[in-house]
Amino acid sequence: MRMDSPKLISLEWKVDDRGYLMQLFNADLNVKRAYVVGNYAKGTIRGFHGHMKEWKYFCVVKGSVKFVLVQHNVSEGVEDPEPLREKIHTYVLSDRKPSILVIPPCYYNGWVSLEEGTLLMGMSDRTLAESIDDDYRIDPFTFGDVWSTKPR
C-alpha cells in the first residue's frame, strides 16, 4: 500500500462472548518497528518532525488525539512557512472510532492529546537506527497554533 498522501484506514472491533479484539496491521503495512507513546496530560504536544524515506502508521489505543500533518520537502528548509500552510492536514483519532493514520514520507507530523491518559501506538517501516538518520525536527508552532481546539 503505497501512496503520496496521508490516509485513514478504518479498523473494527471483533466482539463475542469472550471479549473483544482489534487487528492493528496486516501484510498490507510494511512494519519493522512498533512502539507505544503516552502523554501525562491533555494538551501535550508531540511534534513536528518529518522523514524523507520513512512511512509511519498510528492508532489510538486509548483516548483521543489531534494529528497535524504538513507536506514538506526537507531539503528546501522551512525559512518561509507561509506556502506550506495550504498543505496542512488535520485528523482526529479516537479509540471510539478506531483507525490507522498512514503517514507517507515528506510530511511533518505531530499530535496533541485531547484526553488524559491517551495511549498511541506507532508503527514504522524503518528500524530505529534508520529512523534516526532520517529524522528532521522543527518548532511545533512553525505554522501557528494548529493545536488548539476551535469552538464551532
More confident call, 150 vs 26? 150
CA distances in angstroms from 69 to 12, 34, 66, 104, listed in the order given: 24, 20, 10, 10
Q: State residue 92's pLDDT score.
A: 96
Task: Give residue-wise pLDDT tens across range 88-111.
Answer: 999 999 999 999 999 999 999 999
Q: How many CA atoms lie within 13 A of 14 on its CB side?
A: 5
Q: With CA atoms as reference, report the closest residue to 6 among 128, 107, 148, 86.
A: 107
C-alpha to C-alpha distance for 84 and 69, rounded to whole angstroms = 10
Q: Which three cell numbers stand for residue 98?
A: 478506531
- The size of the chain, in residues, is 152
Average pLDDT (14-22) is: 88
Query: Is pLDDT at 86 greater than 80 in this prediction?
Result: no
Q: With CA atoms as reference, report the closest residue to 73 among 52, 88, 90, 54.
A: 52
Average pLDDT (21-48) is: 87
Residue 133, helix vs strand vs coil: coil
Q: State residue 1's pLDDT score.
A: 46
The CATH architecture of the domain made up of 7-15+31-137 is Sandwich (2.60)
pTM: 0.85
Which uninterrupted H or E stretch holds 112?
A: strand 107-113
Query: Is pLDDT at 77 greater than 60 in this prediction?
Result: no
C-alpha to C-alpha distance for 149 and 136, rounded to whole angstroms = 26
Q: State residue 42's pLDDT score.
A: 95
The domains of the chain are located at 7-15+31-137
Average pLDDT (60-68) is: 96
